[in-house]
Chain A
Amino acid sequence: MASKPLDFGKIIMLDGAMGTVLQSRGLPPGGVPELLNLERPELLREVYHDYIAAGSDVIYANTFGANALKLRRTGKGVAEIVSAAIKLAKDAASGTDVRVALDIGPLGELLEPMGTLPFERACELFREVALAGAAAGADLAVIETMTDLYETKAALLAVKENTDLPVLVTMSFEESGRTFTGCTVASMARTLTGLGADAIGLNCSMGPDKLAPLLRELCENTPLPVIAKPNAGLPDPVDGHYDMDAASFADTLAPMADAGVSVFGGCCGTSPDYVRGVAERLKRRPVVKREPKRESFVCTPVMPLPITGVRVIGERINPTGKKRFQQALLENDMDYILDMAVQQEDAGADILDVNVGYPGVDEAAMLPRVVKELQSSTALPLMLDSSNAAALEAALRVYNGKAAVNSVNGDEAVLSRILPLIRKYGASVVGLCLDQNGVPQTAEQRFEIAKRILDAALSCGIPREDVWIDCLTLTVSAQQEQARETLKALRMVREELGLQTVLGVSNISFGLPNRALVTRTFLIEAMHAGLTLPILNPNLTELMDAVAAFRVLSGEDESCRAYVERFADCEPPKTSASNIAVKKEKTAQSAALTLDDAVVRGLKTEAAALATELLKTETELSLVDAHLIPALDKVGEGYEAGRVFLPQLLSAAQAAQAVFEVIRARLAERGGESVRRGKLLVATVRGDVHDIGKNIVKTVLENYGYDVVDLGRDVPPEAVVNAVREQEIHLVGLSALMTTTLAAMEETVALLRQLPDPPKVLVGGAVVTPEYARRIGADYYAKDAKASVEIAREVFGQ
C-alpha cells in the first residue's frame, strides 16, 4: 500500500536520538545497535512508541549502520536487519499517520581520494540498503550524519536510482561552518538540491544554539524544506552527559522556524521529552516562506563559487594543438595533466575546463578518471568539456560537487541527449549560439538560439541560473565584422535574458602578430559588454591583470583589496630606456647561474629556462648526462654526508624535474620517444594509507629520468602482480609504514616471486630493516630515496 506523501506545507516533527537512548536503556558501549532489531525487539518498540507519543510525525527505523561494511563482523545480512527494523517501526506506527524512515548513516570507511573506498563501491553498498528498505515498506529514506559530500552523493544517487522513496538528507557540520572533510554549507546545499533531495538539513555535532547561523546560511542556499536535528548540546568529558535539558533545547530550537526551518528533531543526547518540547512549541505554526538566493553557482565541497562577478575559466587542460598534452593522454601520464591544473590554480583560475577528447583516447573512461585525479589535487570546480554523452554522464557521476558542462547548442538532437544529464546531476550547462545549420552571422540570430536553448533547459526542469550562454568568438583576422556581432549578442543575452555568459577569448587574435594585445583588448571589451565567464590561459599574466583591473572598476573587488595585493610589489613604470637597463641587468644575473647550480639550489623556474637555452647548442642526452645527473649526484653526496637535508634534496629533484619537462616537451614536438632510463613500479602495501615516503622516492627516481608507475597506497598484492605482468616491469619498490602492514609486504613479495620472470624487488619504509628485507625474499633494502636511485642504477645499468 502506497503511503501518503509527507506534507512539507506543514511543520514536520522527526524523532530524537536512537543511539544514546539505547545506551541509556542498556546497550553496552561498542555494541552494534542494529543487532537489537533481532535480539531486543521490545526495547525498540518501546522507543518508537515513546517518540510517537511525544509527537513525532516520522520515526527513524534502527538501520543507521545497517550496511554490509559495518555488519560484516556480525554474521547478519543487510536485508535481514533492515526488514526486521522496518517491520518493528511499522508495527509501532500502525493505526497512526506516523511515517517510517529507512535510516542511512555513513558506511564507516573513508571514500577516495582521502580514503580508499571507491565511489562506485559506495554506491553499490548504499544500493543494497535502499533496496532492502523499499522492499520492507519504508515510507521514506533519510540519509544522515554525513560529513563527506561525496559519500552523501553516493547514498542519494543509490536511493533515487533504485527506489521511489522521498529522501531527506542531513549532514553534520562543525562550528567553523565546515564538515570534517571541509565541505561548506553552500556547497552541500547547492549540490544536494541539484541532485534532487526532497529536503536537506543539519543534524548532530552541536546544540541548536551553535547550529543556528549555519541553518540560516542553508536557508539562503536552497528552495527545499530545511531540516534541523541538533544534539542536546555538548557531552561532558567526565561523565559523558549532554549539557542541554529538554526545555532549553526546545526554547533554542523552536525559533528557527522563524528563519524558515520547517522540519525538526533531535540527535545525540535528546530523548522523547526533547521532541515533545519542540512539538508543543511548533504544532500548528505555519511554515515561514523563504526567499533563497537565486544565483549561478558551481562548487567542489571545499570551494563554493557563486558567479557574482567575473570568474576565469582556465583553458589549458585540452589536447587540441598541443603535442605534449596529446602524448600525456596517450601515455596515461596523469602527473602532466595535474601539473596543468595546479599551475592554473596558482595563476588565479576560478574554474578549470577539462577536455580529454583525442583520437585513440577512450573518452568515456578517461574523462571520469581525469576528473577524479583532478579533484584529489585541486579544489577548483570543473567544467566538463565534451560532446560525448557517455563521457559526460560518467564524469558527472563521479564529480564531487556541482559541475558545469561545456556544451550544448541549439540542435534539438544535442539538447535532448545532454539536458536530461544536466538535470539529473544538477550541473550548470553552457549553450553555444549555433545549431545544425552552423554559426549564425548576426547577433539577433545568435540571440534567438540562446533563447531556444534556455527554453529547452527550463522545460527540462533546469533552473534558469544554471544556463550559461556562449556567443562564440570568431577569428578577427578572418571575419573582421564578427567581433562586433559577438559583443552585441553578448550584451543582448546579458541584458534581456539575464544569463551568465561564457566566451573563449583567445581565438580572436589567431593569425595576428602580438596576439596578446588583441586578445586582451577583446577581453576587456567583452567584460564591459557583460562577459562573466571568460575562458582563457590564466598563465598569461597580462590577461589576468586585465581581469584584476576590471574587477576594481566594476566594484566587485571591494576596497580594491585583491588588486592592491596583486600589485603590491610592482615597480613604478619605467621609461623604455631604463627598461632596457633592467633587462640587461637580469640577463647578467642569469648568465652567472649555471644549470648545474640551479638544480643544486633547487631553483625550478631558472633551471627550466637555462635548460631551454642550453638545448640550442646541446642534445637532450648530453644535457641529462653532462649536467643534470652530475648535479643531482652532487646533492646526493651532500645528503649522504649530512650536509644537505631531505627538503633540499627534494627541491633539487624538482628543479631537475622541470628540466626533464622541457626535454619531454621538445621531444614530443619532434614526435620522438621520451627519454626514459627504465620503468619501475612503486606502491604502498595493502593496509598502509599514508604515502609521503613513497612519494619522496618517486620524486627522486623520476628526476633521475626513470619512468615510475605509481600504484598509490593501500595496494593489494594481486594489483601489484597484475601491473608487473601487464606493463613488463623489472623493478618493484614497496613501502610499509606500520608493523601491522609488514605481512602484506611479505605476501606481495611472495606472489611476485611466483611469476615466471620475477622482477627485482626493493623494500623500504619506517619499520623495514635490512634483515627483514632478506627474510621475506626482497632483493634490496633501501634506507632512503637516495639509496633507491643506486639500486635502480644497478638494476638498469648506468
Chain B
Amino acid sequence: MEPNVDEILRYLRVRGEAPEPLRAQVETAARELADSLPPRYVYRAFPLAWGGDGVTLAGSGVTLTGDLAKKMLQECDRAVLLCCTLGMEFERRLRALERRDMGKAVILDACGSAWVESGCDAAEREIAERFAPRCLTDRFSPGYGDLPLALQPAVLTALDARRRLGIHLSDSFLMTPSKSVTAVIGIADTPQPARVRGCGYCAMKMTCDYRKGGTTCGV
C-alpha cells in the first residue's frame, strides 16, 4: 500500500506543480505515516431486502434511504458495510505536531485523509477477493449524495465499531478519531459501472473549496 502524494498535495490546495521542497516534505511525512500506522478496518456483509422506504441490510438494523443507494445497489443482492480508521494514535500525533509546527501539522492532516482512503482501498480489495468471482460496486458513504449522514449511528452499531475500532460518534454525527470512514459496497453478479462520480451527486457541491477555486476534487 503506497501513499498517494498527488492526492495529498491536492488536499493541501496546491494548484499546479508543487515546489520541490514542499513535495519532498509531503513525501517524507506520508512515508513515515504509511510505515508506522496501518489503517484498521472491520466490515460485514448483509443480504438486501427492498422495501417502501429504501434498501434494508437484513439483520443489521440499517435501511439505506434515497436515490443514491437505490441506484448503486440496483443489481445487488448483498451489501457490505465497512468502517476504516487511523485510530487515536493519529489524533495524538496531530495534536503533538500542532503544538510544535503548524505547517507540518497541516501536512500530516492531509496525509491522514489520503491514508485512511488507502485503507478503504485495501479493505475493498480484500472484500473483492472474498466474494470473487462476484463483483463490487464503487463504495459510497453516508453524507454523499442523498444518503443521509444520520445513518452513521446505525452503521457503526451494525459493525460494533465502537468496541472493535474505538470509534465514537457525536450527536452531530462526527466520528472520533477524525480519520475514520464508513462506506457501503454492493455485491452483484456482473461488473458494476461507475454510477455516481462527479460533482452532480456530491452533498458538498454548493460549498466545495475546489469548485470555488474552479477545479474539482477528482472523484
Known: A114-B91, A688-B174. A648 touches B22 (CB 8 A): yes
Residue on B with the closest CB to A690? B178
Residue B120 interfacial (CB < 8 Å): no
In the bound complex, residues from chain A placing their C-beta under 8 Å from that of B117 are none
How far, in Å, is A650 (CB) from chain B's closest CB? Answer: 4
Partner of A645, one of B12, B109, B149: B12
Closest 8 A/B residue pairs (Cβ): A180-B166, A687-B172, A651-B103, A30-B61, A650-B103, A740-B172, A647-B103, A29-B61
Stretch at the interface among B132-140, B189-197, B201-209: B201-209
How far, in Å, is B104 (CB) from chain A's closest CB? Answer: 7
How far, in Å, is B210 (CB) from chain A's closest CB? Answer: 11
Residue B94 interfacial (CB < 8 Å): yes
Residue B106 interfacial (CB < 8 Å): yes
Docked complex: B143-197 residues within 8 A CB-CB of A: 149, 154, 157-158, 160, 162-163, 165-166, 168, 170-174, 176, 178
How far, in Å, is A597 (CB) from chain B's closest CB? Answer: 15
Residue A741 interfacial (CB < 8 Å): yes
A109 touching B15, Cβ below 8 Å: no
Known: A145-B163, A181-B166, A377-B96. A647 touches B44 (CB 8 A): no
- A114-B91, A238-B45 known; 17 other A-B pairs, CB under 8 Å? A29-B158, A114-B92, A180-B88, A182-B92, A237-B45, A237-B130, A339-B99, A379-B92, A647-B12, A650-B103, A651-B102, A688-B174, A690-B178, A738-B173, A767-B204, A769-B207, A783-B212
A687 touching B170, Cβ below 8 Å: yes
In the bound complex, residues from chain B placing their C-beta under 8 Å from that of A109 are 168
Residue B217 interfacial (CB < 8 Å): no
How far, in Å, is A620 (CB) from chain B's closest CB? Answer: 24
In the complex the two chains form, what is the Cα distance from A769 to B208 in whole Å? 9
A377 touching B158, Cβ below 8 Å: no
Residue B71 interfacial (CB < 8 Å): no
B102 touching A690, Cβ below 8 Å: no
Residue B6 interfacial (CB < 8 Å): no
In the complex the two chains form, what is the Cα distance from A376 to B160 in whole Å? 28
In the bound complex, residues from chain B placing their C-beta under 8 Å from that of A665 are none
B106 touching A696, Cβ below 8 Å: yes
For this complex, 17 residue pairs linking A to B, each with C-beta atoms less than 8 Å apart, are: A28-B61, A29-B61, A109-B168, A114-B92, A180-B166, A181-B166, A237-B45, A376-B95, A377-B95, A645-B13, A646-B13, A648-B103, A654-B102, A688-B172, A689-B174, A741-B174, A744-B172
Docked complex: A765-794 residues within 8 A CB-CB of B: 766-769, 783
In the complex the two chains form, what is the Cα distance from A339 to B98 in whole Å? 11
B14 touching A645, Cβ below 8 Å: yes
Residue B42 interfacial (CB < 8 Å): yes
How far, in Å, is B215 (CB) from chain A's closest CB? Answer: 12
In the complex the two chains form, what is the Cα distance from A307 to B166 in whole Å? 31
A695 touching B98, Cβ below 8 Å: yes
In the complex the two chains form, what is the Cα distance from A744 to B174 in whole Å? 14
In the complex the two chains form, what is the Cα distance from A769 to B203 in whole Å? 14
In the complex the two chains form, what is the Cα distance from A268 to B60 in whole Å? 17
Residue B2 interfacial (CB < 8 Å): no
Q: Scan B30-47; emit 1 where CB is below 8 A from any A CB, else 0.
A: 000000000000111100
Q: Scan B84-98; emit 1 where CB is below 8 A from any A CB, else 0.
A: 000111011011101
A650 touching B172, Cβ below 8 Å: no
Docked complex: B46-72 residues within 8 A CB-CB of A: 59-61
B157 touching A30, Cβ below 8 Å: yes
Report which residue of A108, A113, A653, A695 has the largest number of chain B beta carbons within 10 angstroms of its beta carbon: A695
In the complex the two chains form, what is the Cα distance from A184 to B196 in whole Å? 44
